């Protein structure tokens, strides 16, 4: 049995992780290539983790010089969970990867009273007894498939999960055609499920102009994509527009901070990049000049953006596969995270897509404006074409 780490060793590990965490966020804020590397790793692991655990695992993998494929805990002795459930054993001498895991238990009456006095909500059973609930987080070990031996195991990539889904629905298993993902109809359905209509329109149409896609909010609630694009490009642009909707960029006005338009575009494009990569549809490198430049190296903003991107990408992939992974659903939000955000809305009304917004931008140039207003809100997006 592996030796348990001491309190000092845990403290040293956490200090090291914190330093690496900030260094990675700083690099991601400064160089788009590091942001794309982060997104590609998220896609490779199926968007199963939130930002803190994603970066924690990336740190440990880099230090060991390996490229993990799929993590799972050792499992309970009765074989009901983890690798043991799949007939695989972690090899003797292997060192686990540390991740934050939720600690659920029933707090004592004294603890519950103390928490409530401090303003913390405590869940209680019908008889008034404190219920079993999330009380904190613990560092636990998880292991990559390369650290195990045993029965054959197929890594449940997003492509595998979608094949399982269409097979269960009685549809052909192999996905063919110009759209290798076969996901376009599903993406359109997800857009419509959000309360938006969907149409393919000719270039130059109202709202769309010369863009690839546009989401019109307000009373129209409409997503328009340019007709004539390749099937793969339609999937990618549709996911970009769905990303805007799911990230909350088009919500009603509410109290809170105004999100910079560069942040909106970064979040939507990053969501599309992760989902496309997970579907094995490889898009062109991120070419927008404003990628993370709006953050001015503020790693707190980059962290918030990463949190949003991973959360939304995970739910979209869950909808596309019918199997939402709950591996990392209880990661604690970062201190001071904003939960009430108001989307960027231009304060001018114009038909000139190149007129700068009245909200100051901290970059000298962010390229063409992505927003127009015609008595309602519309966003225009110039998406990079995928390589097929």
Domain check: are 251 and 329 in the same one? Answer: yes
Structural domain tally of the chain? 2
Q: Comparing 67-81, 281-295, 302-316, which segment has the lowest mean pLDDT?
A: 281-295
Whole-angstrom Cα distance, residue 234 to residue 224?
11
In a domain, 119, yes or no: no
In a domain, 129, yes or no: no
pLDDT at site 173: 32
Q: Can you state the angle between helices 299-321 and 32-44, rounded to 10 degrees?
A: 30
Q: From 150, 184, 205, give the residue that closes a domain.
A: 150
pLDDT at site 34: 85
pLDDT at site 302: 87
Domain check: are 48 and 180 in the same one? Answer: no
pLDDT at site 328: 57
In a domain, 196, yes or no: yes
Domain check: are 189 and 254 in the same one? Answer: yes
Whole-angstrom Cα distance, residue 209 to residue 212?
9
Domain check: are 164 and 142 in the same one? Answer: no
Average pLDDT over residues 274-298: 68
Domain check: are 362 and 221 in the same one? Answer: yes
pLDDT, tens only, 156-206: 877 766 665 544 444 433 333 367 778 899 999 999 999 999 999 999 988
Distances (CA, A) of 360 to 172, 294, 313, 378: 52, 11, 29, 19
Domain check: are 205 and 91 in the same one? Answer: no
Residue 192: which of 168, 219, 214, 221 has the closest Cα? Answer: 221
In a domain, 202, yes or no: yes
Domain check: are 271 and 308 in the same one? Answer: yes
pLDDT surpasses 50 at 325: yes
Distances (CA, A) of 37 to 103, 195, 259, 285: 31, 33, 24, 10
Q: From 150, 185, 215, give the residue that closes a domain.
A: 150
In a domain, 112, yes or no: no
pLDDT at site 148: 96
Domain check: are 68 and 195 in the same one? Answer: no
pLDDT, tens only, 326-365: 555 544 443 333 333 333 333 222 222 222 232 333 322 2
> 């100051």: which residue's tokens?
360
Whole-angstrom Cα distance, residue 376 to residue 253?
12
pLDDT at site 97: 95
Domain check: are 143 and 190 in the same one? Answer: no
Q: From 82, 116, 150, give the residue that closes a domain.
A: 150
Domain check: are 59 and 91 in the same one? Answer: yes
Beta bridge partner(s), residue 269: none
Domain check: are 42 and 171 in the same one? Answer: no
Environment class of residue 98 by beta-carbon count within 10 Å: exposed (0-12), middle (13-18) or buried (19+)? Answer: buried
Domain check: are 240 and 312 in the same one? Answer: yes
In a domain, 113, yes or no: no
In a domain, 355, yes or no: yes
Give the range of the structural domain holding residue 263, as residue numbers without chain letter: 158-381
In a domain, 121, yes or no: no
């Amino acid at each position: 049995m592996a030796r348990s780490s001491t309190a000092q060793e845990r403290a040293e590990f956490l200090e090291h992780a914190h330093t690496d965490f900030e260094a990675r966020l700083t690099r991601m804020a400064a160089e788009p290539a590091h942001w794309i590397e982060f997104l590609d790793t998220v896609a490779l692991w199926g968007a199963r983790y939130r930002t803190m655990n994603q970066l924690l695992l990336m740190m440990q993998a880099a230090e060991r010089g390996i490229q993990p494929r799929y993590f799972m805990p050792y499992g309970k002795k009765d074989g009901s969970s983890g690798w043991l459930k799949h007939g695989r054993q972690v090899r003797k001498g292997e060192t686990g990867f540390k991740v934050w895991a939720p600690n659920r238990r029933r707090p004592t009456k004294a603890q519950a009273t103390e928490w409530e006095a401090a303003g913390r909500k405590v869940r209680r059973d019908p008889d008034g007894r404190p219920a079993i609930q999330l009380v904190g987080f613990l560092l636990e070990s998880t292991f990559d498939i390369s650290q195990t031996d045993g029965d054959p195991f197929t890594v449940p990539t997003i492509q595998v999960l979608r094949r399982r889904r269409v097979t269960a629905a009685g549809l052909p298993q192999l996905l063919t055609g110009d759209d290798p993902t076969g996901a376009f109809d599903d993406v359109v359905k997800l857009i419509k499920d959000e309360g938006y209509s969907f149409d393919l329109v000719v270039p130059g149409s109202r709202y769309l102009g010369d863009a690839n896609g546009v989401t019109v909010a307000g009373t129209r609630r409409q997503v328009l994509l340019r007709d004539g694009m390749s099937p793969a490009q339609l999937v990618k642009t549709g996911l970009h527009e769905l990303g805007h909707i799911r990230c909350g960029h088009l919500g009603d006005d509410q109290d809170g901070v105004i999100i910079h338009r560069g942040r909106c575009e970064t979040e939507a494009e990053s969501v599309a990049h992760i989902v496309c990569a997970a579907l094995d549809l490889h898009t062109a490198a991120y070419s927008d000049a404003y990628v993370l430049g709006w953050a001015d190296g503020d790693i707190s903003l980059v962290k918030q953006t990463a949190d949003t991107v991973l959360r939304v990408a995970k739910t979209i992939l869950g909808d596309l596969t019918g199997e939402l992974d709950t591996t990392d659903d209880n990661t604690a939000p970062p201190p001071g995270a904003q939960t009430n955000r108001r989307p960027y809305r231009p304060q001018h009304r114009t038909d000139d897509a190149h007129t700068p917004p009245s909200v100051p931008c901290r970059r000298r140039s962010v390229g063409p404006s992505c927003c127009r207003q015609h008595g309602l809100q519309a966003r225009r997006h110039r998406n990079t074409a995928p390589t097929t």
